[in-house]
Amino acid sequence: MTHPGLIKIAATLESPVHLAVCDDEVEQIEVIAIREDSEWQDAFPLPIDLQSAAADAEMILDTTSAVRINPSQLPADFWDSSKIKSYGDNLTLTVLARAGRKYLHFFRAVREEQKDPASLRALALSQAELSQLSLWIREHAFFNHQKGDYIMRLLLILSAPGV
């Protein structure tokens, strides 16, 4: 599926932009990073011309996670199986596959203290993946100690049989 808002943004941009996004088939696009000089950089703040193009297309490019996660903190497997999509000459997206989405969905669940982490449950994470996610969150100290109880509850919910 080709996102009509992204096509509008691409048509408005005057210079090429390459974004890493969680998914390009949703209404609100979550931008994780922006590629500059062959390297992934912070996506926050987005370039003003991109913000303007998104506003003109009546789209939200969400950088909430990008504010807290530096591309250098992303694990090696984050980019595994990602797909590159072009929207015209000036907009390229790297769309995350399951490997990257598990980190972002876990991060978002903890940040928002989601009561029903449906997006995480849908990924059917293994015990090894849950361990990997909790280690990543802890290693980079994304959250203060007050989130510890929620992280433990989340891990229990996700590791329960039949989840």
- Looking at residues 88-98, what average pLDDT do you find? 96
- Tokens 């941009």 belong to 13
How high is the pLDDT of residue 84? 97
Domain boundaries, the chain: 4-96, 99-159
**Average pLDDT of the segment spanning 115-134:** 93
* Residues 44 and 117: beta-carbon distance below 8 Å: no
Q: What is the pTM of this model?
A: 0.91
Q: Is 23 exposed, middle or buried (0-12, 13-18, 19+ CB in 10 A)?
A: middle
pLDDT at 1 over 70: no
CA atoms of 60 and 51, how far apart (whole Å): 9
Look-up: residue for tokens 């931008």?
A: 31
Angstrom distance (rounded) from CA 16 to CA 57: 17
Over residues 139-148, the mean pLDDT reads 91
Give 29-87 pLDDT, tens digit per residue.
999 999 999 999 999 999 999 999 999 999 999 999 999 999 999 999 999 999 999 99
